[in-house]
Amino acid sequence: MKTVCIKTISEDKIIFLIDRIEKINSNICISNYRFKTYDNLIVHYLEKENTNEFYDNISNALKELIEKFYEEKIIEKYIEKNYFYLGILEKNYIFEITKKVLELPENKIGYKRKLLKELIKSYLLENKKIIIEGFVNFRLKQYRELLERIVEVSVFSYLDLITF
């Protein structure tokens, strides 16, 4: 049996994860407890075989959570920090272009999704628990750098549009 404990300070994130994990067609058991600061989602995989599939499924659920709850905030902070000299309207255009790039089909922007999933999976293979907020802030350097490159491409696209 394999167990993963997912900790977060947000009930919305727990509900999101429960919804995603319950859709997994694996032999799993889910429990949700609140201890002091964190909501804890504990996922038990009851089989001894196919543990790789279990970690893939949990990684996919966490990837979707990070994309839904954190990705735009990471992008907004990067734009604000590195393009502070631009006006609000220009920052909004860059943000919208970046969102459009991120909405491209899997075959166009699949590397971002694959990278995020692999970072999560490799962490889960070495650790039994994951604190979502800490993981996003301190363990996703490669993912953040990729988002930064996507923002930079969006800035160049924006500059091409206004000079056209």
Q: What is the pLDDT of residues 55-70, one digit of tens each?
A: 999 999 999 999 999 9
pLDDT value of residue 49: 84
Distance, in Å, from the CA atom of 17 to the CA atom of 62, rounded to the nearest integer, reads 7
Which of 88, 108, 98, 103 lies closest to 149 in space, CA to CA? 98
Q: Provide the whole-model pTM.
A: 0.91
What is the reported pLDDT for 164? 59
Mean pLDDT of the chain: 92
- Among residues of the chain, what percentage have pLDDT more than 70? 98
Per-residue pLDDT at 110: 64
Flag the least confident range among 23-32, 91-100, 149-158: 23-32
Q: 96 is in which domain, residue-wise?
A: 2-163
How many domains, the chain? Answer: 1
- Decide: 131 and 5 in contact? Cβ < 8 Å: no
C-alpha 94/C-alpha 112 separation (Å) is 19
Structure tokens at 22: 């319950």
| pLDDT, tens digit, 9 for 90 and up, residues 41-52 | 999 998 888 899
Question: Crossing angle for the helix pair 141-163 and 106-126, nearest 10 degrees?
Answer: 160
Q: Is the pLDDT reported for residue 85 higher than 90?
A: yes
